[in-house]
């Protein structure tokens, strides 16, 4: 009886969690590259649960993976990994590569319906790589970006 209760509870938990297979596939592929290792972030599950409840600044969900090390290859391989494993429906919004420093930033977006958008952000700088997936309210995100630009212009004057 106890085993059935545990199995039922585990099944309910798995069904309640939003499944984002594309994120795990991308993170796994990045972590498999030689010279790169994934860095765990303590209490990330608790932070994610808090976001599900509170929705700060219009964020409904997020996933974050950080990696250390660099395999010496250019950003084209990372871009290919993201494109191949991200899943259907994502379109590139921002693609920035620095030939001199080797930095890379890629942002892909997928509309989720209504005002919500799913963003995949991949950023590599020297020896650190960050992969972030955010399910957010597009209007609030756009307002925050516009607010930041206004603050920058005011600060420069």
Task: Provide the residue-wise pLDDT of the chain in tens; the chain has 157 residues.
Answer: 566 655 554 444 444 444 445 888 988 888 888 888 888 888 877 878 877 887 778 888 889 999 998 766 667 788 888 888 888 889 988 888 887 777 889 999 999 888 899 999 999 887 888 999 999 888 887 787 777 666 555 555 5
Is 72 within a domain? Answer: yes
Is 98 within a domain? Answer: yes
Q: What is the distance between the alpha carbons of residues 89 and 86, in angstroms, rounded to a whole number?
A: 9
If one counts the domains in the chain, the total is 1
Which among 110, 106, 104 is positioned nearest to 134, based on CA atoms?
Answer: 110
Is 67 within a domain? Answer: yes
Is 150 within a domain? Answer: yes
Give me the CATH number covering residue 29: 3.30.2030
- Could you tell me the residue range of the domain that residue 42 belongs to? 20-156
Is 90 within a domain? Answer: yes
- Which pair of tokens denotes residue 51? 């976001």
Q: What is the distance between the alpha carbons of residues 110 and 43, in angstroms, rounded to a whole number?
A: 28
Is 6 within a domain? Answer: no
Note the pLDDT of residue 133. 92
Note the pLDDT of residue 131. 92
Note the pLDDT of residue 102. 75
Other Cβ atoms within 10 Å of 52 Cβ, number = 15
51 SS3 class: helix
Positive/negative CA dihedral, 31, 37, 43, 48: negative
Is 117 within a domain? Answer: yes
Helices 21-31, 75-85: crossing angle, 10 deg rounding: 150
């Amino acid at each position: 009886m106890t085993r059935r209760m545990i199995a039922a509870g585990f099944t309910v938990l798995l069904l309640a969690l939003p499944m984002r297979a594309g994120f795990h596939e991308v993170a796994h592929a990045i972590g498999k590259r030689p010279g790169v290792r994934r860095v765990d972030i303590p209490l990330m599950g608790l932070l994610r649960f808090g976001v599900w409840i509170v929705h700060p600044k219009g964020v409904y969900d997020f996933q974050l993976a950080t990696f250390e090390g660099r395999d010496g290859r250019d950003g084209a391989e990372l871009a290919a990994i993201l494109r191949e494993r991200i899943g259907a429906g994502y379109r590139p919004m921002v693609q920035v590569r620095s030939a001199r420093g080797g930095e890379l930033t890629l942002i892909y977006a997928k509309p989720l319906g209504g005002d919500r958008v799913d963003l995949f952000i991949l950023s590599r700088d020297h020896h650190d790589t960050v992969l972030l997936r955010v399910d957010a309210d597009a209007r609030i995100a756009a307002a925050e970006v516009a607010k930041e630009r206004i603050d920058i212009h005011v600060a420069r004057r």
